[in-house]
Structure 1
Amino acid sequence: MSALSSIRPAIRPAAARRAAKAELLPKLRVPIARSVVDCAVYVDGKRLPGHWSHEAALAEVRRRGEGFVWIGLHRPDAEQITGIADVFDLHELAVEDAVQAHQRPKLERYDDTLFMVLKPVCYVGHAQPTTANEIVKTGELMVFVGTDFVITVRHGEHSSLSDVRRRLEADREQLALGPAAVLHAVADHVVDKYLDVTEAIEDDIDEMEREVFTPRSVMDAEQIYVMKREVLELRRAVAPLAGPLRKLTEGYSSLVPHEVRSYFRDVDDHLSTVTERVAGFNELLSSLVDAVLAKTTMRQNNDMRRITSYAAIITVPTMIAGIYGMNFDFMPELHWEYGYPAVLLVIATICVTLFRVFRRNQWL
C-alpha cells in the first residue's frame, strides 16, 4: 500500500478535506524541488520573470486575480506530490493515480478540477525490423487543470514537455486562453507523437511485407508476433483516449472554454487517423502471419517432395544390389561375362529416367 493510501481520508466535502490535510501537513513536508521540472506564472499569455515555488506562484496569481500557474513534475513520490496537493487542493484519488502511474488514458472531474491521463509513446530505433525486440516504448502523463493552475506529472524519460512549454510561450495569444490551452497543447503533442510512431511502424511493416513475399526468403513468424505485440501496446495507449477527447469537445467541463473546444476537435480527428492506422496494422500483421505459415508449409511440402524423389531414386540400386547380394548359385546372368556392367547400366538408366520424371513434375 502506498504512503498516500495509508493517509487517505474518506471522501467528504472540500472544506473538511482541507482541514484534515492541514493537520497532516507538518508530517508530510518534504523536499519538493527534486521532482519539479519547472514552475512558472503566466499572466495574459506572458511568463512572469523569476523563479517561483508552488506556494508563491499560486499566491501571486490569486493576488493579481488573473493568470495561472503551470507546474511540471517528473516522477514525484507520494510525499512530494502531497505537498503540492495540499496547496492546490487536489483530490486524493487523483493524486494517488498520479503517483502509481499505471492508469489507462482517462478524463475525470473532481469538484472544480479536471484530471486527465495520457500515455505518450516513442519509437525505438533499430537496424532492421526483422531483428528488433522493442519498437514502441510508452510512458505516462497526468494533467491536473483548475481555474488558475495546471499541473503536469510525467513518468518516463521520453515524455518531456519542454518543447510544448517553449512553443506555447512563443504563442501568447494561445497561452492567454488559460490552463485549458495547456491541456490542449499537451494532448496535441501526445497525439502528434502517435502519428510519428505510426508512420515509422508503417515503414517497418512494409519492410516485413517485402521480406515475406520475396521469393526464397526466410522470414520467422516469431518476429511478426513481436511487431504485433508492439502494435497492441500502441493500441492500448491510443484507443482509450478517444472517449476523453470526445468529452472535451462536447463541453464536459466549464474549465474548457468554447474557444479551446474547437482545438480539441482537431486533436480528436488526428486520433481517429491514428486509430484507423493501428487497426490496419493489426489486420495486416495477422495476414502476414498467415502468409508466413502458408509459405513455411509450402516449403516443407517441397522439401518432402524432394526427399521422396531422391529416396525413390536411391531405392533402385539398393533393391537390385540387394537381390544380387543373396549369394544363390543359380541366378540369371550370375556367370555371364557382361552381367556386372549390364546391371550397372540398368541401374543408371532407371535412376536417370526417374530423375527426369521427377524434374518434369517439379519435384526436384
Structure 2
Amino acid sequence: MTSPSCPTATRLYDQGKVIAQDFGYDQVAGMLEKHPGAVLWLDLFAPEPADLQRVAEEFQLHPLAVEDAMTDHERPKLDRYPHHVFLNVYAVDIATRESETRFGKTEISAFVTPRALITVRKSPSDTSKFVDRWDTVADLGAADGVGFLLYGLLDVVVDGQYAATQRLDTAMDQVEDALLEEGGAARPVRMKAIDQRKLLAALRRAVAPMPELVGQAMRADLGLVDAELRPYYRDVEDHTQHTLDEVEHLRDRIDALLQADTAEQGNVLNDTTRKLAAWAAIIAVPTAITGYFGQNLPYPGFEKFSGFLVSTASILAVSVLLYLYLKRRGWL
C-alpha cells in the first residue's frame, strides 16, 4: 500500500478504546485485518489528487465523492454512495481583536465506510478537539465504532458553530450601543455593523444545512446510528437547530439596528432641512421687499472702486466661513 505524500493522522479504536495511533498508512490494511472488530480514523491534510486516489482505491470511495472532497467551498451536505457515506461540514471560529471581528472556517470532508472514518481537511485546523471528544465519550464506541466517531466529529463541529454564534452576539452588543446613539451612528460604526452582517451571512451558510444533515445521518437505512447512539445524535440535532435559531435572531437583530440607524439619520436630516428652510425664509423676506422697491442704499465706499473691493471681500469671507461651518457640521 503506497502511502500518501500529504500529512496524515491515524487512530484505531476497538470497543471505543484506542489500541493504536500514529501508525503509517502502509500499516492500515494490516491493522484492520489483525483487529476485525476495530474501526479506523484516518485524517488527510491538504491531499493531492493522487493521494486521495490511493485511499479511494483501498476503501472503494466513489469518484464523485472524491471529486467533492478535492473541490473547495462545497456546500454542507450528506450523500449516500454504494460503499460509504460522504459528508461535508465547516468548523468555524469567530474572534474579536482590537474591536475587529474576524471569521475563520475550515472545510472538512468525511468518508464514512463500514470500518473507517476518513477526514479530509483543506486548511489547517486543530484535530485534537475531535480526539479529545472521542476519548471523553469512549463508552459509546462499544456498540458501533464508526457511528461513535461520526458523532464525535459532528458534536465538535456543532459546538464550535454555537460558540461562534455566541461570540458574534457579544460583539454585536458593542455595535448596538453605538448605532442607537442620538443623531445616528458615525460612518465607521455603520461599516462595522455591515461587516458583522457579512460575517453573519457567512456563518449562516455553514450552519443552516446542519439540522437536515444530522437528521439524514440518523436515517435507519444508512445503518450508522444504533439505538444507543440515537439519543446523542438527537442532542446534536437539537444543538444545530438552536444554533440556527440564534443565527436567524442575530440576522433580524442587525437588520433592525441598521434600519433604526437609517431612521434616526432621516430624522436628523429632516431637522436640518427644517432649520435651513426657516433661515432661508427669514432671509428671503427682506431680500424680496428690498428687491421689489429697488432699494440701493449708500454704504461706505458707495460708487467707489474701494467699496467694490470691500463688498467682494465680504462676500468671499462670509461664504468661506459659512462653508467651513457647514463642513464641520457634516452638512457638506
TM-score normalised by the chain length of structure 2: 0.80
TM-aligned CA distance change 1:52 to 1:327, over 3 Å: closer
Q: 1:216 & 1:290 partners in 2: Cα distance?
A: 14
Alignment partners' CA distance in 1, 2:133 and 2:155:
12
1:140 corresponds to 2:115: no
1:225 aligned partner: 194
Amino acid at match of 2:109: M
Q: Is the 8 A contact 1:106 1:117 kept in 2?
A: yes
Deviates more, 1:259-268 or 1:248-257: 248-257
**CA-to-partner distance for each residue in 1:4-36, whole Å, 9 max, x for gaps?**
xxxxxxxxxxxxxxxxxxxxx9xxx6x624331
Counterpart of 1:172? 138
Counterpart mapping for 1:153-172 below 5 A: 153-157=120-124, 159-172=125-138
Q: Structure 1 residue 294: deviation in Å?
A: 0.9
Displacement of 1:295 in angstroms is: 1.0
How many angstroms does 1:319 deviate by? 6.6
2:83 paired residue number = 112
Q: Deviations over 1:114-155 (max 9, x none)?
A: 111111111032333xxx4x6432221111111211111122
The answer as to 2:34 corresponding to 1:68 is no
| 1:269-288 superposed matches below 5 A | 269-288=238-257
Amino acid aligned to 1:262 = P
Q: Specify the alignment match of 1:32 in structure 2.
A: 4
Which amino acid is 2:160 matched to? K
Percent identity between matched residues is: 26
Kindly provide the CA deviation profile for residues 166-186 of structure 1, in whole angstroms up to 9, marking residues without a partner as x.
332354313433011111111
* Contact preservation (8 Å) 1:106, 1:118: yes
CA shift at 1:265, angstroms?
0.4
Tell me, in whole angstroms, the C-alpha distance in 2 between the residues paired with 1:231 and 1:249. 28
- Aligned match of 2:322: none
Q: Give the conservation status (yes or no) of the 8 Å contact 1:248–1:261.
A: no
For 1:237, the aligned partner's letter is A
**Does the alignment pair 1:326 with 2:296?**
yes
8 Å CA contact retained: 1:191, 1:270: yes
**1:286-314 CA distance string (max 9 Å, x none):** 21222121111111111112223333445
Stretch moving more, 94-103 or 53-62:
53-62
Deviation at 1:41, TM superposition (A): 1.7
Which residue in 1 is equivalent to 2:49? 78
Q: 1:90 aligns to what?
A: 61
Contact 1:58–1:69 (8 Å) recurs in 2: no
**Offset at 1:112?**
2.8
Cα separation, partners in 2 of 1:327 and 1:146, compared to 1, 3 Å: closer
> In structure 2, what is the equivalent of residue 239 of structure 1?
208
Q: Tell me how far apart the structure 2 counterparts of residues 303 and 154 of structure 1 sit (CA, whole Å).
A: 56
Q: Does residue 1:149 correspond to 2:120, yes or no?
A: no
Between 260-269 and 42-51, the greater mean CA deviation after superposition: 42-51
Q: Which has the larger radius of gyration?
A: 1
Which stretches in structure 1 are left out of the alignment for 5+ residues? 1-24, 329-364
Q: Deviations over 1:30-50 (max 9, x none)?
A: x624331x1122223222246
- 1:327 CA displacement: 4.8
Question: CA–CA distance in 2 between the matches of 1:223 and 1:172?
Answer: 44
Q: Distance in 2 between matches of 1:286 and 1:327?
A: 59
Match of 2:170 among 191, 203, 206: 203
How far off is 1:63 after superposition?
2.6
Q: Go from structure 1 to structure 2 and tell me whether the alpha carbon gap of 1:263 and 1:58 turns closer, same or farther (over 3 Å shift).
A: farther
SS at structure 2 position matched to 1:151? strand
* Greater displacement, 44-53 / 91-100: 44-53
Aligned to 2:19: 48
Q: In structure 2, what is the Cα distance between the partners aligned to 1:95 and 1:265? A: 28
Length-normalised TM-score, structure 1: 0.73
Q: How many angstroms apart in 1 are the aligned matches of 2:140 and 2:186?
A: 50
Measure the CA separation in 2 of the matches of 1:163 and 1:223: 31
Deviating more after overlay: 173-182 vs 66-75: 173-182
Which AA in structure 1 matches 2:242? T
* Residues 252/154 of structure 1: CA separation in 2 closer, same or farther (3 Å cut): farther
Corresponding position of 1:59: 30
Alpha carbons of 1:256 and 1:58: their partners in 2 closer, same or farther (altered >3 Å)?
farther
Contact 1:135-1:227 within 8 A present in 2 as well: no
Tell me which amino acid in the other structure corresponds to 1:163.
K
Give unpaired runs (5+ residues) of structure 2: 299-332
